[in-house]
Amino acid sequence: MNDSEAARGGWSRRAALTTLTATTAATALGGRAAADAGRHGPGAPGHGRYEQTANGRLYEIRWGRNRAVVAGVAATLLSWRVDGTEMLLTHAADDPGEGYQGKTILPWPNRIDGGSYEFGGRSLQVPINEPSRQCALHGLMSFVEWEPVYHHRDRVRLRYRLHPQYGYPFHMEFTVDYAVDRNGVRCTLSAENVGREAAPVGWANHTYVAAGPGGTDAMELMLPADTYYRTNDRLIPTGTAPVSGTRYDFRSRHRIGRTKLDTAYTGLSRDHRGDAVVRIGLEDGRDVLLRVDGAHEHLQVYTDDGAGEDRPQPARSGITVEPSTCPPNAFVTGEDVRVLAPGERHEGSWSLSLSTRDSAG
């Protein structure tokens, strides 16, 4: 995030899985989509040969024990199965869902307070889509369908061009690549400014890991972050604080228990590859590893505490640790928002893998 050459100083949740039903639906529909996988290259994505669902076209990709389904709407990671077991808290392909499960969030993640911000000497206003908090939540692309560039057996590339509009008068092109290999699933997102003026951008991914019978309480978490964001009652940050001595400290792994989190973190510790590695401990003794690269300086953690009458499963059925390039309300504060000059491109990657509890990952 910190290497942009363009004016960056300071700029830079959740229908649960109806376990068997959702997996079966994703499998069946994804299977039909995958019938042509491996036969389509760039320029021949198989238009008209993919099942149409509430989440758009489905693209199944697989490698060995790993199998994923990507949905066109919001470039969603709809399913990730290892040896046939669904790892994600998700929903059926024909269910539009709630809570942004698996979606790619652009061109800003999380909230803009009041939906208003300033950029390039202009005051800009985007629509309020979270009236209870008077916020603009999760960007402008959570319900649009990305177009396929190619779809092979083990990978798929989708693209979306966001045209200038009220509140975000910038011309951007986004490309997302999902790939599976022996380790798991990897996502790389690229943002390019195809307009004539500098443009602010940030992104996140909202994938949930499914809990076992004990719910989120029985999961463990290791989160390599030394700083968290304090927020007001509308979840707008009011400042940062060290995690040391607080309930937000998961630098040493421990059980989540009854801790409730809807919390942004930064100050990430990184390994020799420059990646920050999050461990989500499952009840069966395995860990889901989330690995994020240097483009992602922030993580938003939510313990799935919401519940509603239309929700097929109870609250705390999973957890999301969202790879994020900037914190909540960043379009107002300017913190870590990437500013792209015309023609400039920026990308970032994250991955999910499964390991035994003692594995170094």
Q: What is the structure's pLDDT at 52?
A: 87
pLDDT at 190 over 70: yes
List, for residues 158-181, the tens digit of each pLDDT value: 999 999 999 999 999 999 999 999
pLDDT at 3 over 60: no
| pTM across the whole model | 0.87
pLDDT at 4 over 60: no
pLDDT at 48 over 70: no
List, for residues 267-293, the tens digit of each pLDDT value: 999 999 999 999 999 999 999 999 999
Per-residue confidence band for 51, with pLDDT thresholds at 50, 70 and 90: confident
SS (H, E, C) the chain: CCCCCCCCCCCCCCCCCCHHHHHHHHHHHHHHHHCCCCCECCCCCCCCCCCEECCEEEEEEEECCEEEEEECECCEEEEEEECCEECECCCCCCCCCCCCCCCEECCCCCEEECCEEEECCEEEECCCCEHHHCEEECCCCCCCECEEEEEECCEEEEEEEECCECCECCCEEEEEEEEECCCEEEEEEEEEECCCCCEEECCEECCEEECCCCCHHHCEEECCEEEEEEECCCCCEEEEEECCCCCCCCCCCEECCCCCCEEEEEEECCCCCCCEEEEEECCCCEEEEEEECCCCCEEEEECCCCCCCCCCCCCCCEEEEEEECCCCCHHHHCCCCEEECCCCEEEEEEEEEEEECCCCC
Per-residue confidence band for 50, with pLDDT thresholds at 50, 70 and 90: confident
Cβ neighbours of residue 297 closer than 8 Å, sequence gap 6 or more: 1, 2, 266, 268, 324, 325, 326, 336
Pick the more confident residue, 47 or 218.
218
* All domains of the chain in start order, with CATH: 19-356 (2.70.98.10)
Kindly state the tokens that stand for 331: 């379009």
pLDDT at 211 over 80: yes
Burial of residue 154, with CB atoms counted within 10 A of its CB: 0-12 exposed, 13-18 middle, 19 or more buried: middle
What's the whole-number average pLDDT of the chain?
A: 88
pLDDT at 152 over 70: yes
List, for residues 29-46, the tens digit of each pLDDT value: 344 444 333 333 333 344
Q: What is the structure's pLDDT at 308?
A: 55
